[in-house]
Amino acid sequence: MKKILHKADTRGIADHGWLKSYHSFSFAQYYNPERENFGVLRVLNDDEVSPGMGFGTHGHSNMEIISIPLEGDLEHKDSMGNTAIIRQGDIQAMSAGTGVRHSEKNKSKDQKVKFLQIWIIPNKANVAPKYDQITLTKTSLQNRFQQIVSPDPDDDGVWIHQNAWFHMGEFDNGAQESYTFKENENGLYIFLLEGQCKVAGQSLQRRDGLGVWQTDTLDFSFMEDSKILLMEVPMAN
């Protein structure tokens, strides 16, 4: 087993006033040659947007973009004609492919919005752009890993152009759970959103990240009420 630990307080920070963003990997003005990616996981940004503010219309191509709201209401508009509000419990995926333009705005005039922005390098270039969105039930996350992203349109969660699987779970203090890799050559990037847990001999605190590969199963023990995101991705990009 191999692993790499990214403590929460070692992430890159960008503070633009209206936007505060924590970067687990190199992004924009933050560059760390040892943190360019974890396999095909290219970006993991922990964003907080002020009321009424947002990202103006901008373009992407050949990237799988996943947004996971943690708090508040985020308004999405794109060049495919989609207009949507994504909230806590929603999972959004967009395949940029040949090119797409979109904007994201905090819909509220008095509350912040917090969300994760995740970029995955696709396994197919220049695909037709697409948009996908689901809403999870609270009970689906209770003391289990609920699949939220996969490469199969007929499987649980949103789907993307990559052999990657994401799971989320909300665990009670004292809970234990195991995760079995979908593919042996993949790695798992663990991002502890809230709480405290132990996995692969490592204790994790809120917003810590841990990458693990060259193993097939991991056992998790939760020492507090916790919320966690697992991202299984190919290690070769």
pLDDT digits over 127-186, tens only?
999 999 999 988 999 999 999 999 999 999 999 999 999 999 999 999 999 999 999 999
Nearest to 45, CA basis, from 81, 70, 62? 70
Longest dimension (CA), the chain: 47
The helices-and-strands tally (H runs, E runs) of the chain is: 0, 22
In this prediction, residues 212-237 reach a mean pLDDT of 96
| 2-234 CATH, one of 2.60.130.10, 2.60.120.10, 3.40.50.300, 2.40.50.100 | 2.60.120.10
Q: What's the angle, vertex CA 157, arms to CA 12 and CA 37, rounded to 5?
A: 25
Distance CA 125, CA 96 (A): 10
Q: Count how many Cα atoms sit within 13 Å of the Cα of residue 131 in the half-sphere of its side chain.
A: 14
Has this prediction a pTM greater than 0.95? yes
pLDDT digits over 173-203, tens only?
999 999 999 999 999 999 999 999 999 999 9
Could you give phi then psi for residue 203, rounded to 5 degrees? -90, 130
pLDDT digits over 1-54, tens only?
999 999 999 999 999 999 999 999 999 999 999 999 999 999 999 999 999 998
Judge whether 61 and 110 are in contact, CB under 8 Å: no
Nearest to 177, CA basis, from 198, 203, 147? 198
Q: Which residue(s) pair with 17 in the sheet?
A: none
Instruction: Give exposure, 191-227, as e/b (b: 16+ Cβ within 10 Å).
Output: bbbebbbebbeeebeebbbbbbbeeeebebebbeebb
